A and B are shown apart, each in its own frame.
Chain A
Amino acid sequence: MDWGQILSNSASFIIAPATIAYALAAVGLSVQFGYAGLLNMGIAGFMALGAYGYAISSITFGLPWYLCIVVAIAASVVYALILGIPTLRLRGDYLAIVTIAGAEVLRLLFLTSSFDQYTGSADGLTGYQGSFRDSNPFPRGSYGFGPWTMNENQAWVTVIGLVLLAIAVTIVFLLMRSPWGRVLKGIREDEDAVRALGKNVFAFKMQALVLGGIFGALGGVIYALPSSVNPGSYVTSLTFFVYTALLLGGAATIFGPVLGSVVFWVLQTFLGNVLPALAGIGILPVSSSQASTLRFILVGVALMLIVIFRPQGILGNKKELTFVK
């Protein structure tokens, strides 16, 4: 068992694109769920729109990478409006059902062979990085050090991902200190009370849904940028994993979603390496594929335990339990 390799692999996920992608999506979810109390159970749908929006714009329409990102954002805005208009006036659990159903509809539409020439159906899409890599300012070579050594393409993805994440966190930081954020938190507590004070609750909820959706789509872009888009990634489990990361860090905190994503991915990678290794040398009496399944069982158990015993997350204030009643 190579502990050095295992620890290095785990540490590399502190700033891996997947971690940044989860962090972006979790920041989006913190706006929607943590601050506004909106039960978006379909963040995977927003991420899928981001990933496919980017990839299809690049492959089918040949757009440059920054316009692909704009298309991804535009798609998520339109989608948020479509979901929000019918449901944001209704009770919270309807939004949950509609967002989760909407995410599935999107996934099935991307998966079907009917639109194979655009979506690649079950195979997903690859080979859309051209424009992005062409614009890479890093010359060919190796960057970083230790576990965080990457080639010029990985470095470029990581830099863009971190920039987007920094922008997202800054926006949330500014908004949540503003009167806008105050209204949003008020809506989470009791939307009727806020309505009685003359605030257009629907508009605020819609803005939160759209903003969170944009961050989710950006997460999808970063998730897809390093290699490929695979429809199997955007299942409901992805939504649940992002929720786990969010709740781990603290749903109504600025840096909680980021910290939660880092912890989630580092632990996932660590377990994903350690458990099969333990099985390999006979310490765990299971096969190696069973050993790698174990970590997902642990995610589920962890999610339950967090919600039951520390619903405010790592960074949350104990008094400030952040759950919608």
Chain B
Amino acid sequence: MSSDSTPVPAPAAPPVPHAPRPKSTGLHKGEAVPGVAKVDPIIIADGVRRTFGGLTAVDVDHVEIPRNAITALIGPNGAGKTTLFNLLTGFDKPDAGSWSFDGKSLSGVPAYKVARMGQVRTFQLTKALGLLTVLENMKLGAKGQSGEHFFQGLIPGIWRKQEKSIEAKAHDLLRKFKLDAKQADFAASLSGGQRKLLEMARALMSDPVLVMLDEPMAGVNPALTQSLLDHILDLKDEGMTVLFVEHDMHMVRHIADWVIVMAEGKVVAEGPPLEVMQNPAVIDAYLGAHQEIDLGEITGRYHAEEKN
């Protein structure tokens, strides 16, 4: 997207069908440069580097993710976004660096413990557990289940009560995500978009503090897009922090409170979405060179908003 071909959207809230929600502002201290300190950071990463053979996939000097805000992680393909995601969630080990979540160091903490601390992620390629039913998928998401211990699992009396309350919670979430009609189906029978919804709903079963979404919109048909966006905005209203990777610039602009731009493994810019997108370095590194930012226009999403 180049600034002369598409009008820059007005900062004022556009008249869209759904009620606009205010963006969080004042998240950072001082000038919005790469690595700027945040007023209330939930994740702080220092010197995180990961190389594959000769290729440096991630080399982040310093980055902070603001609490109770929606932060977008953008950058061209191969910028290291997903690798950074994997490192922050313990799915991959960096060559060097330290990072913390909620003030607790996460270096060397395995992925499942990271998740238990309240930092739950989804995947770029959806990982719905195909041969489990939708309801089983949801129940799997709940934390601290006594029936998941080997010996306690043998005696239904121990876990049946907890199972009931987990099931009730799962029903609530499924209703909210409009998957309640599908609860008895195998997850493999869901459409791509429904699987994304299921994955997000499943992540919410654990009452996370920070939800990390890797390309939540990829492969989602436009009819479901709006509901997904609303769900993400709801997370913030409910007090959670959201960090997501996304290629769809319209979505980023629409819901993100803060944007971090990566290129070649480094953080090259960050700031509120509208400012970042006018940053010439960003346009150079990403927006100018790649056409996927026009995806929104092609699919017609937020057309009203754009033209307003």
Please indicate whether A and B come from the same complex rather than being unrelated chains: yes
Chain A interface residues (CB < 8 Å from chain B): 171, 174-175, 177-183, 185-186, 188-190, 192-201, 207, 211, 319-322
> Is there contact, CB below 8 Å, between A201 and B112?
yes
Residues A199 and B153 in contact in the complex (CB < 8 Å), given A185-B131, A189-B129, A320-B131: no
Residues on the A chain within 8 Å of B110, using CB:
200
> Is there contact, CB below 8 Å, between B132 and A182?
yes
Residues on the A chain within 8 Å of B205, using CB:
197
Q: Which of B112, B136, B186 contacts A320 (CB 8 A)?
A: B186
> Is there contact, CB below 8 Å, between A180 and B130?
no
Q: Decide if B177 is an interface residue (CB 8 Å cutoff).
A: no
Q: Decide if B127 is an interface residue (CB 8 Å cutoff).
A: yes
> Is there contact, CB below 8 Å, between B115 and A192?
no
Closest residue of A by beta carbon distance from B199? A193
**Interface 9-residue window, one of B116-124, B284-292, B299-307:** B116-124
Chain B interface residues (CB < 8 Å from chain A): 89, 91, 110-113, 115-116, 120-123, 127-132, 136-137, 139-141, 143, 145-150, 153-156, 159, 163, 186, 199, 202-203, 205-206
> Is there contact, CB below 8 Å, between A195 and B150?
no
> Is there contact, CB below 8 Å, between A186 and B129?
yes
> Is there contact, CB below 8 Å, between A179 and B150?
no
CB-based closest 9 A-B pairs = A180-B153, A179-B147, A193-B127, A178-B153, A198-B115, A189-B129, A198-B116, A190-B127, A179-B148
Cα distance A322–B131 in the bound complex, in angstroms: 8
Cα distance A182–B199 in the bound complex, in angstroms: 16
> Is there contact, CB below 8 Å, between A319 and B153?
no
Q: 19 additional contacts, CB 8 Å, given A178-B159, A207-B150?
A: A175-B153, A179-B139, A179-B147, A180-B148, A180-B150, A185-B136, A189-B129, A192-B123, A194-B140, A196-B91, A196-B122, A196-B203, A197-B115, A197-B203, A198-B112, A198-B116, A200-B112, A211-B150, A322-B131
Closest residue of B by beta carbon distance from A321? B131
Cβ of B88 to closest chain A Cβ, rounded Å: 12
Cβ of A276 to closest chain B Cβ, rounded Å: 43
> Is there contact, CB below 8 Å, between A199 and B112?
yes
Residues A197 and B202 in contact in the complex (CB < 8 Å), given A177-B156, A178-B156: yes
> Is there contact, CB below 8 Å, between A196 and B147?
no
Most buried by A among B137, B146, B148, B202: B148
Closest residue of A by beta carbon distance from B121? A196
Cα distance A76–B297 in the bound complex, in angstroms: 62
Closest residue of A by beta carbon distance from B139? A182
Residues on the B chain within 8 Å of A198, using CB:
112-113, 115-116, 120, 143, 206
Closest residue of B by beta carbon distance from A189? B129
Closest residue of A by beta carbon distance from B149? A180
Cβ of A175 to closest chain B Cβ, rounded Å: 6
Cα distance A319–B133 in the bound complex, in angstroms: 12
> Is there contact, CB below 8 Å, between B129 and A193?
yes
Residues A189 and B156 in contact in the complex (CB < 8 Å), given A198-B120, A200-B112, A319-B186: no
Residues A195 and B163 in contact in the complex (CB < 8 Å), given A180-B153, A189-B131, A190-B127: no
> Is there contact, CB below 8 Å, between B153 and A181?
yes
Q: Which of B112, B122, B145, B206 contacts A195 (CB 8 A)?
A: B112
Cβ of A63 to closest chain B Cβ, rounded Å: 26
Closest residue of A by beta carbon distance from B148? A179
Residues on the A chain within 8 Å of B199, using CB:
193
Closest residue of B by beta carbon distance from A177? B156
Q: Which of A177, A182, A196 contacts B111 (CB 8 A)?
A: A196
Residues A179 and B163 in contact in the complex (CB < 8 Å), given A198-B115, A321-B131: yes
Closest residue of B by beta carbon distance from A204? B148
Cα distance A180–B202 in the bound complex, in angstroms: 17
Residues on the B chain within 8 Å of A190, using CB:
127, 129
Closest residue of A by beta carbon distance from B163? A179
A-B contact pairs, 18 of them (CB 8 A): A178-B153, A179-B163, A182-B132, A182-B139, A183-B140, A185-B132, A186-B140, A190-B129, A192-B91, A192-B123, A193-B128, A194-B129, A196-B115, A196-B120, A196-B122, A196-B127, A198-B115, A200-B110
Cβ of B125 to closest chain A Cβ, rounded Å: 10
Residues on the A chain within 8 Å of B148, using CB:
178-180, 182-183, 199
Residues on the B chain within 8 Å of A207, using CB:
150
Closest residue of B by beta carbon distance from A170? B154
Cα distance A246–B166 in the bound complex, in angstroms: 34
> Is there contact, CB below 8 Å, between A174 and B153?
yes
Residues on the B chain within 8 Å of A194, using CB:
129, 140
Residues on the B chain within 8 Å of A171, using CB:
154
Residues A196 and B132 in contact in the complex (CB < 8 Å), given A178-B159, A179-B139: no
Residues on the B chain within 8 Å of A201, using CB:
112
> Is there contact, CB below 8 Å, between A174 and B127?
no
Cα distance A189–B133 in the bound complex, in angstroms: 12
> Is there contact, CB below 8 Å, between B131 and A182?
no
Residues on the B chain within 8 Å of A195, using CB:
91, 111-112, 115
Cα distance A190–B148 in the bound complex, in angstroms: 17
Cβ of A28 to closest chain B Cβ, rounded Å: 15
Residues on the A chain within 8 Å of B139, using CB:
179, 182
Cα distance A195–B149 in the bound complex, in angstroms: 16
Closest residue of A by beta carbon distance from B188? A319
> Is there contact, CB below 8 Å, between A197 and B120?
yes
Cβ of B91 to closest chain A Cβ, rounded Å: 7
Residues on the A chain within 8 Å of B147, using CB:
178-180
Cα distance A189–B132 in the bound complex, in angstroms: 8
Cβ of B65 to closest chain A Cβ, rounded Å: 18
> Is there contact, CB below 8 Å, between A197 and B159?
no
